């Protein structure tokens, strides 16, 4: 399975592509950052991000696009641009009939490091280690996009209500599921977010 991860942003939008085999072994395919010039109008910036994303999706033909779920931050202008870029990634995937998955930063941190509150450098180092990279992907948006893809690849399969299914999960998968459930409760996913 080819997974294209997106760390949305209006100035820098990270794109990471990995391949996951049936036993969840992961291999690196590609990483890049799609950029827009902050000196041009917002509509043209969005067009630049959209064109960059569609180019990557068309080039790598992913089976799924995993986008970082955006939620409120203190800087309103930043969150708006981030949400717009996330929407562009979802639109580009939907236009091509590619499923979209949304994972929070906490879920990605949990999947990559086993700690939903890991520092950015810990995530970056683990991304490089998991994908057998000789260097940490730069800038941070690139590593975050790969973390999104890894998160989707390592997500527990099936519903996680407990019982037999949960008994067959690895420790990391159980921790990931717990972080996902805690994030949903904390951020009101049930309220439509």
Binding-site annotation, residues: 7, 68, 141
- Please pick, among 21, 32, 43, 68, the residue that the annotation labels catalytic: 68
Cβ atoms of 128 and 137 closer than 8 Å: yes
Q: Report the distance separating Cα 107 and Cα 46, nearest Å.
A: 27
Q: Report the distance separating Cα 172 and Cα 112, nearest Å.
A: 9
Taking residue 23's Cβ as centre, other Cβ atoms within 10 Å add up to 5
37 catalytic per annotation: no
- Please pick, among 107, 124, 141, 144, the residue that the annotation labels catalytic: 141
Q: Tokens 């450098």 correspond to what residue?
A: 121
43 catalytic per annotation: no
119 catalytic per annotation: no
Quickly list DSSP for 13-39. Answer: EEEEEEEE-TT--EEEEEEEEEE--TT
SS3 category, 176? helix
Q: What residues form the annotated binding site for Mg(2+)?
A: 7, 68, 141
Q: Which phi and psi (to 5°) does residue 107 adopt?
A: -65, -40
Q: Report the distance separating Cα 151 and Cα 144, nearest Å.
A: 10
Which amino acids are annotated catalytic?
Answer: 7, 68, 141
């Amino acid at each position: 399975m080819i997974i294209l991860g997106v760390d949305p942003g209006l100035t820098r939008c990270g794109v990471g592509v990995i391949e996951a085999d049936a036993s969840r072994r992961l291999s690196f395919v590609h990483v890049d950052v799609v950029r827009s010039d902050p000196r041009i109008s917002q509509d043209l910036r969005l067009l630049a991000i959209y064109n960059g994303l569609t180019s990557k999706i068309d080039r790598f033909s992913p089976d799924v696009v995993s986008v970082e779920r955006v939620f409120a931050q203190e800087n309103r202008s930043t969150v708006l641009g981030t949400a717009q870029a996330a929407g562009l990634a979802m639109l580009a995937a939907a236009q091509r009939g590619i499923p979209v998955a949304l994972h929070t930063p906490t879920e990605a941190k949990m999947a990559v490091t086993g700690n939903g509150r890991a520092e950015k450098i810990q995530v970056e180092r683990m991304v490089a280690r998991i994908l057998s990279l000789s260097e940490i992907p730069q800038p941070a948006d690139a590593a975050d996009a790969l973390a999104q893809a890894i998160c989707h690849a390592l997500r527990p399969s099936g519903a996680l209500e407990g019982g037999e299914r949960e008994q067959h999960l690895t420790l990391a998968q159980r921790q990931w599921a717990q972080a996902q459930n805690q994030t949903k409760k904390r951020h009101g996913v049930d309220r439509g977010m």
